[in-house]
Amino acid sequence: MGKNKLIRFAENETFGNIFQPSFSEVFGIDYHMKGKWHAEYFKNTNPIVIELGCGKGEYTVGMARVNPDKNYIGFDIKGARLWRGAKTAVEENLGNVAFIRNRIENILSFFEPGEVSEIWITFPDPQLKSARALKRLTSSRFLNRYKQFLKPGGVVHLKTDSQELHEYTKSVLEHNSLKVNHCTNDLYNSNLPNPFLSIKTFYEQQFLEQGKTITYLNFELNRVDPIQEPPSEE
């Protein structure tokens, strides 16, 4: 392991805005902060917005800067990446930011029903092979988890450079008759009214410089029955 990673891991332990539970603290059981994010960390009742696979936390921190009246939690497994977002939030005294280092598969251990108002999924691994479809963060496997803690009327945002993931997600939504609020194949040539859509991470800026178009979906999980996968792509 590189020296810089060790330094960052050590510094992460000093930050009050990053939560790093062990496997035994969350596997099949509730984490001690579940249902307590408002009262014990943010100390307010403002809506909670989470970003899944947040990487360096650029988007999480960017949203927190724009809107201090919401609380933001970035979720990722890579501690060396989370270090950047956590450190920036500390340096800028952003009290409406937190980070969780864990696997997204364990997300039900962290949030109780109705605790989260919005979910952002920004530039996730598209998992393009059909055999890996259920590993996509917009697959039925994950959407069924999200709807257990997303409040009624809460929304999911997907921002990606992968046209394949965009189309796959649309097929999941259509197959399950889920409500789509906004959909575009070319975000920066659309007129969608959302100040967060203009926040660009380092990698997104690279995609744009390479001439890639960015897609966007905003949808709700308005279905009581379990969400199902669409017919096989093959």
**Are both 47 and 136 inside the same structural domain?**
no
**Are both 117 and 221 inside the same structural domain?**
yes
**Are both 144 and 221 inside the same structural domain?**
yes
Strands across the sheet containing 180-184: 18-19, 97-101, 71-76, 48-52, 116-122, 150-160, 215-220, 180-184
Q: Which listed residue (76, 125, 161, 186) is catalytic?
A: 125
**Are both 121 and 209 inside the same structural domain?**
yes
**Are both 57 and 151 inside the same structural domain?**
no
**Are both 50 and 127 inside the same structural domain?**
no
**95 in a domain, yes or no?**
yes
What whole-number distance in Å separates Cα of residue 50 and Cα of residue 193?
20
pTM reported for the whole predicted model: 0.94
What angle, rounded to 10 degrees, do the helices at 79-91 and 3-12 form?
50
**30 in a domain, yes or no?**
yes
CATH number of the domain that 37 lies in? 3.40.50.150
**Are both 103 and 76 inside the same structural domain?**
yes
Domains identified in the chain, total number: 2
What whole-number distance in Å separates Cα of residue 108 and Cα of residue 126?
22
Domain range for 85 is 1-111
Among 58, 91, 111, residue at a domain's last position: 111
Active site residue 76: no
E strand residue ranges, 150-212: 150-160, 180-184
**Are both 157 and 217 inside the same structural domain?**
yes
What whole-number distance in Å separates Cα of residue 100 and Cα of residue 161?
25
- The pLDDT assigned to 72 comes to 98
**Are both 120 and 59 inside the same structural domain?**
no
From first to last of the 234 residues of the chain, give the pLDDT tens digit: 577 888 888 888 889 999 999 999 999 999 999 999 999 999 999 999 999 999 999 999 999 999 999 999 999 999 889 999 999 999 999 999 999 999 999 999 999 999 999 999 999 999 988 888 899 999 999 999 999 999 999 999 999 999 999 999 999 999 999 999 999 999 888 888 767 777 888 888 888 899 899 999 999 999 899 999 998 755
Among 67, 83, 111, residue at a domain's last position: 111
**Are both 33 and 10 inside the same structural domain?**
yes
**231 in a domain, yes or no?**
no
- The pLDDT assigned to 189 comes to 87
Three-class SS of residue 213?
Answer: coil
Three-class SS of residue 96?
Answer: coil
**218 in a domain, yes or no?**
yes
**44 in a domain, yes or no?**
yes
Among 111, 132, 150, residue at a domain's last position: 111
**Are both 105 and 10 inside the same structural domain?**
yes
**Are both 88 and 125 inside the same structural domain?**
no
For 38, which DSSP code?
I
